[in-house]
Structure 1
């Protein structure tokens, strides 16, 4: 079985047609913009957001103690270490930028025909995240995501695997800027006290609004570059 899994991971797939890629982009856009869907699909963004905090905490030498995901799509990642300094700054910075950067990495893999490898990489990350979940709702969210990805990687046909991988990638790239916009609106209305931007402002004395701008630059830049990798033919036509 391990040999079969490894063969599936290493097998490259032909790049889908431009029309097929645009169709997956349209699906992802609906998942981000349709009011009835966004409260549900936003949980996937929260998983990536808190995963970003967790990865940054571990890479900077902090001790990760647990992750909680809540039904209102908020989350909390707790780590121990110095309360100030570069490690804490990078850990806070990684949250809002993680979905976009994950999406950008996924776009790079898809541009090389590694759709199945991408799905297995997502599955591994979800498994590692599951070990750190500390509440029942978070456990349920990660398990649902993991079971869904596993079902696609194991039983779906190659074209469906590719479609899911592209839709997931576009979703992360498109959803990341929306969460930053929501943060900016909430801060303007005074409803985002204690947000990542506010905590970064307290650590660095750089205004929270500028940190929101940093989040926006990273997420929008990742979106632009990711689309360029996923839809090079479309951009070439626009350019001419």
Structure 2
């Protein structure tokens, strides 16, 4: 009987040990995060939260031997906005940091750049939003990197969203600016044009998120909302 208990204890210890020996506590992770941020950026940061998330189901319901950390962070450069840091293992081995602070640092430059490309084609008010679709900087880039340098380093943008003021997006209106962007920047995956009502667009101008307004209007009456998509696949036709 003692041997059975000893064997059970050894098995439990073998399962629990990885949980205690990789990644550290939340407070330790926060300390490391502040050190990482100080080494990369000239700003003051506040960690809002640090959560440990399982990479996948563990061998037992309550055990997660494989996990990573997700931190939500604020910067004094962008008050009231947040970005995400991740602490995880690369190839299941070495722990490393990833962060998407570029979503804030490059946002204005990217938004203005694509808005200027679109402007000659659209005779109507519009708002541009960028969805980066990646979780870290390309190799060799960092604070001070321009959008052009981002693309040169194989950085990507998943989606450009263009919201129109009470105008139905059609090929005649939207295809030419979309193709121009996709040809100029092949690392942009696709572009979507959305129609918002005049009231909805006014709310966006006042600070509301346009995709939230679009989804709200769509949920009320699908017949009054339109969108049209263009992607790199359109260049192959």
Q: TM-score, normalised by structure 1?
A: 0.27
More helix as a share of residues: 1
Structure with the greater alpha carbon radius of gyration: 2
